[in-house]
Amino acid sequence: MTDIPPRPRLRLFVEVPLSAGVAVALEREQTHYLSSVMRAEPGETVLLFNGTDGEWLARIDRLGRSGGILIPEQMVRPQSAEPEPRFDPWLLAAPLKRDRTDLVAEKVAELGATLFWPVFTRRTVAHRVNGDRLRARMIEAAEQCERLTLPLLNEAAPLERILAGWPEGRTLLFLDETGGGEPLAGLAAGWVEGPVALLIGPEGGFAPEERALLVSRLFVRPVGLGPRILRAETATIAALALWQALAGDGARPPRG
């Protein structure tokens, strides 16, 4: 009989291997989060994951100013519980104003994309992207939504450069707010074979020359999400959720 304790209230991503009895030293910020924010104490049980070794129950061994030590005790979910998604979606999006780019990064992790790639376009208002902050936000979202993996974060690049180096075999679906695209639902339900990336433009949409460049490529297809003009972050969530529900892992239950 396996004896599984009640589900811990805390779940952390760590960047070290996980195996039974091998101590994990927390980073400074995680130590602060556990002790000062969450008021955890030595002896409390925490869930740990690192993207490759599954999910572990770990006990807090030490927690103080000098740092924190956790001891993994029991694997509770193998890495195989999160299979490679069949069409692992990538998400490309033009950076928005600061808070809303953070929100997009969070939703990319929460909705199971495997890669987030910020794209500079003509009408992109933001000209820089803080990768460290986006990554922190994705880790936090992965911790809370019970993912076993993190999305990769590609360095922000201009649209032209991304298209020039596009990987073979991956279809790029761009949200075309001019109404020229096919409904995304149909594509997700089986009209597109193989891996995809979803591309969402900035608030002002794509410039005409960008749209022309996009549709000139054989791997690109314009898609639509219905008659209302969605804000960029809404379109991101809607497109990813739809893709997961129809072509991804949407039929699986939580903690499956």
The residues that touch a second copy, with contacts defined as CB under 8 A, are: 82, 107, 110-112, 144-147, 177-181, 183-186, 224-231, 234, 237-239, 241-242, 244-246, 248-256
Dihedral sign for Cα 142, 89, 177, 156, please: positive
| C-alpha dihedral (109, 203, 94, 103), degrees to nearest 10 | -30
Question: How many Cβ atoms sit within 10 Å of the Cβ of residue 140?
Answer: 17
The whole-angstrom distance between residue 50's C-alpha and the CA centroid of its chain comes to: 14
Per-residue tokens: 183: 């409904």
The distance of closest approach from Cβ of residue 87 to a second copy in the complex, given in angstroms and rounded to an integer, is 14
Nearer residue to a second copy within complex by CB, 145 or 213: 145
Q: How far is CA 121 from the centre of its chain?
A: 21
Taking the complex as a whole, the smallest distance from the CB of residue 24 to a second copy amounts, in Å, to 24
State the nearest-atom distance from the C-beta of 135 to a second copy, in Å. 18
Which of 38, 41, 42 is CA-nearest to residue 11?
38
> Of all helices (H) and strands (E), which one includes residue 175?
strand 171-175
Phi, psi at residue 242, to the nearest 5°?
-65, -45
Up-side HSE of residue 186: CA atoms within 13 Å toward CB? 9
Give least dist CB 6 to a second copy, A.
15
Q: Are 187 and 222 in contact (CB under 8 A)?
A: no
Query: Contact, 151 vs 138, CB < 8 A?
Result: yes
User: Least distance (Å) from a second copy to the CB of residue 248?
Assistant: 7
Q: Which is nearer to a second copy, 60 or 232 (CB)?
A: 232
In the complex, the smallest distance separating the C-beta of residue 155 from a second copy, rounded to whole angstroms, is: 26
d(CA 256, CA 248): 14
DSSP letter (8 states) at residue 15: S
CB-nearer residue toward a second copy: 68 or 205: 205
Nearer to a second copy, 75 or 81 (CB): 81
State in angstroms the smallest separation of the CB of 168 from a second copy. Answer: 29
- The token pair that represents 153 in the structure block: 């974060």
Q: Which is nearer to a second copy, 95 or 222 (CB)?
A: 222
Instruction: For a second copy, give the closer residue by CB, 18 or 239.
Output: 239
Nearer to a second copy (CB atom), residue 3 or residue 99: 99
